[in-house]
Structure 1
Amino acid sequence: MKKIISILLLGITIFTFAFSSPALAADAAAGKAVFTANCASCHAGGKNLVNAAKSLSKEDLEEYNLYSEAAIIAQVTNGKGAMPAFKDSLASDEIANVAAYVMQQAEAGWAN
C-alpha cells in the first residue's frame, strides 16, 4: 500500500512540474514603461544617439552578439562603454522586462 501511495505521489509531482508554466516570465508590456523611463533618451525608436552603428535593431543586436534576452539583461545590468550599468537603479525583474521588450521590438523592426 505504501508503495502505491509513493508511486501515486511521485506521478502527481512529475505531472505538476511537467505541465506547469513558468511563474516568472518576462513581461514586454511592463518593459515598455521601464524602457520609456530609463532607455528612450538614448535609444528612442531602437536607435542609439551615442553610437548610431550600435542600434537596437535585430541586425545590430545580432552583429554585436546581443540578440538574446540573456545578453540584453547582462548589458543593461552591467553596462559597457558609454552605456551605464542599471544594476543599482533597476530591479532584476524590470531589467528582464526591458530585455523582453527590446527583443519584441527588434523582431517587429521597432515599428511601434
Structure 2
Amino acid sequence: MKKILSVVVLLITLVTFTFASPALAGDASKGATLFSANCASCHMGGRNVVNPTKTLQKADLEKYDMYELDKIKTQILNGKAAMPSFGKNLTGEQIEDVATYVLSQAEKGW
C-alpha cells in the first residue's frame, strides 16, 4: 500500500511539473500597455516586421531558446541586432511586466 501511494504521489508530481506553464512574476495587464507603447510597432500580434522568421510566437521562442522570462527580460533590457535596448526607457519592473505579457501571449497564441 505504501509503495502504491508513493507511485501515485510521484506521478502527480511529474504531471504537475511537466505540463505546467512557465511561472510569470510580472503584471501582464501592465505589460500589455507597455508593449503597445514600446513594442507593437515591430511586434504587433507577436510578429516581427524586421525579421519575420523570429517572431514572438511560442514555437519561435522555443526554437531560438528564448521561451523563458529571464531571457526575454535580457533581450528587452539590452536589445539585440535591430532591436533597441529599453534599459534606459523602462524600469526593471516594467521590463518584467512586458516579458510576462509576451510569455502569456505566446502561450495563448497571440
Please give the TM-score of this superposition, normalised by the length of structure 2. Answer: 0.77
1:79-94 → structure 2 map (5 Å cutoff): 79-94=79-94
The 3-state SS of whatever aligns with 1:35 is helix
Q: Are 2:49 and 1:49 equivalent residues in the alignment? A: yes
d(CA) in 2 for partners of 1:79 and 1:44? 17
Percentage of identical aligned residues = 52
2:108 alignment counterpart: 108
2:65 alignment counterpart: 65
1:13 alignment counterpart: none
Please give the TM-score of this superposition, normalised by the length of structure 1. Answer: 0.75
Alignment: residue pair count: 86
Larger radius of gyration: 1
1:39 alignment counterpart: 39
d(CA) in 1 for partners of 2:103 and 2:74? 14
1:65 deviates by 1.0
The 3-state SS of whatever aligns with 2:41 is helix
- The runs of 4+ residues in structure 1 deviating greater than 4 Å are none
1:64 deviates by 1.0
The 3-state SS of whatever aligns with 1:74 is helix
Structure 1 unmatched ranges of 5 or more = 1-24
d(CA) in 2 for partners of 1:66 and 1:93? 19
RMSD: 0.6
The 3-state SS of whatever aligns with 1:48 is coil
For residues 18-46 of structure 1, the C-alpha deviation after alignment (integer angstroms, 9 at most, x for no partner) is: xxxxxxx4100100000000000000000
1:12-31 → structure 2 map (5 Å cutoff): 25-31=25-31
